[in-house]
Amino acid sequence: MSDVSAFWPAFGRGFRVMLPLWPGMVPFAVAYAVTARAGGLSVWETCLMSLTVFAGASQFAAAGQFVAGGLPGVAGALALVGTTFVLNARHMLYGLSLSRQLPLGGWRRLVGAQFLTDEAYGMVIVAGPRDPGGLGVAFLLGAELSLYLVWNAATLLGSLAGAVLPDPAVLGVGVIFPLAFLGLLVPLLDNRVSVLVAVTSGLGAWELGRVLPGGVVVLLAGVSGALLGAWLVTRRAGAQGRA
Amino acid sequence: MSGWLVILLMWAVTYPVRLLGLSLGRLDLPPFWLAFLKFVPVSVFAALVMPDVLGSPEWPRRLVAAGVGGALMWRTRNLGLGILGGFAAYWAARLLGV
């Protein structure tokens, strides 16, 4: 970032790369806000959660719990915080993967960490290297803040205006997220090991998804699939080394 | 417990995890773990897609959407077009009663 003039164009490209995901985010943020308000959170608490935690699945889990039982006591709150930790532990995997391609230091790392999501990680790791400026911090921040902006604006809208949009299921927008990740996955399937890893991880996740929450499934299936891939390629490399 | 305190505790277990991953970028890793990290995107994306399609109550429509969207993205390498086409296919399937 020595060259400040190059920051904003790359930031803008990162920002715009997330636009196809916006229609998928808005109804979910509104639905979260409506649920949180119904669970007894004030407008500013509802918004505070989107501003700080910024993780859709665990926000929904928390809001749902408030609706079911009101604001929790100490034991309930600790259980909720534990759930949040488990649901969001997968983000470590994203940071680890991202930091190999894009080492971040100082404030960039502190800021980049706050806004990291499934979608931003996916888009940045795939589209970032193809950006004219390469995979850079400006592109990362643009992508991250694009989602942050729309998620928080829609949270505010939902918490003030209530159910301004029908249920996401009625709109069918739930299909946008799997489509986006499928689009990120397709170009990566350019060799047999990758295809095998994707099939194994996907089927494993489908199976685990029957009994475990989504955030945990992604962590477990993601780690297992990557272990399988690493084992397959290093075993082959080892065999060639011995030959 | 008050709402804002619960929220701050939720933040306190989320942010450090995100930061930890980003802080481990300069570790010197053996080849196995470098290969592991290279497969993380493939593995994670597949794990994000499959349960959301096949595990959904409306899985037949989503399967149609994924088929059309995936094929479009395979041919054009255009993510926006794939999402749009897949979403259109989803609605076509839904209106046709799939």
The tens digit of pLDDT for each residue in B32-67 reads 999 999 999 999 999 999 999 999 999 999 999 999
Least confident of A38-47, A218-227, B21-30: B21-30
Band (A71; pLDDT cuts 50, 70, 90): confident
ipTM, two decimals: 0.93
pLDDT score for A172: 92
Spell out which residues of chain B touch residue A102, defining contact as CB-CB under 8 Å.
Answer: 25
DSSP H helices, chain B, are 3-23, 31-54, 59-76, 79-95
What is d(CA A148, CA A157) in angstroms, rounded to the nearest whole number?
Answer: 14
| Residue A100 near chain B (CB below 8 Å) | yes
Task: Find which of A116, A179, A240 to mutate to test the B interface (most B CBs within 10 Å of its CB).
Answer: A179
Band (A240; pLDDT cuts 50, 70, 90): low
| CB proximity list for A112: less than 8 A, separation 6 or greater | A104, A137, A140, A141, A144, B22
Report CA-CA distances (Å) from A167 to A29, A32, A37, A45, A213: 11, 10, 15, 22, 21
Note the pLDDT tens digit of each residue in A11-25.
999 999 999 999 999
Report CA-CA distances (Å) from A165 to A20, A41, A60, B2, B52: 19, 20, 17, 29, 22
Which amino acid type is present at position A50? S
Q: Do A172 and B42 touch (CB under 8 A)?
A: no
Neighbour tally for A142: CB within 10 Å = 25
Note the pLDDT tens digit of each residue in A168-190.
889 999 999 999 999 999 999 99
Tokens standing for A125?
Answer: 């790791």
Band (A88; pLDDT cuts 50, 70, 90): very high
Collapsed DSSP state (helix, strand, coil) of residue A3: coil
Mean of pLDDT values over A101-116: 95
Question: Does residue A20 contact residue B85 with C-beta atoms inside 8 Å?
Answer: no
Band (A2; pLDDT cuts 50, 70, 90): low
Chain A CA closest to residue B5: A77
| Residue A69 near chain B (CB below 8 Å) | no
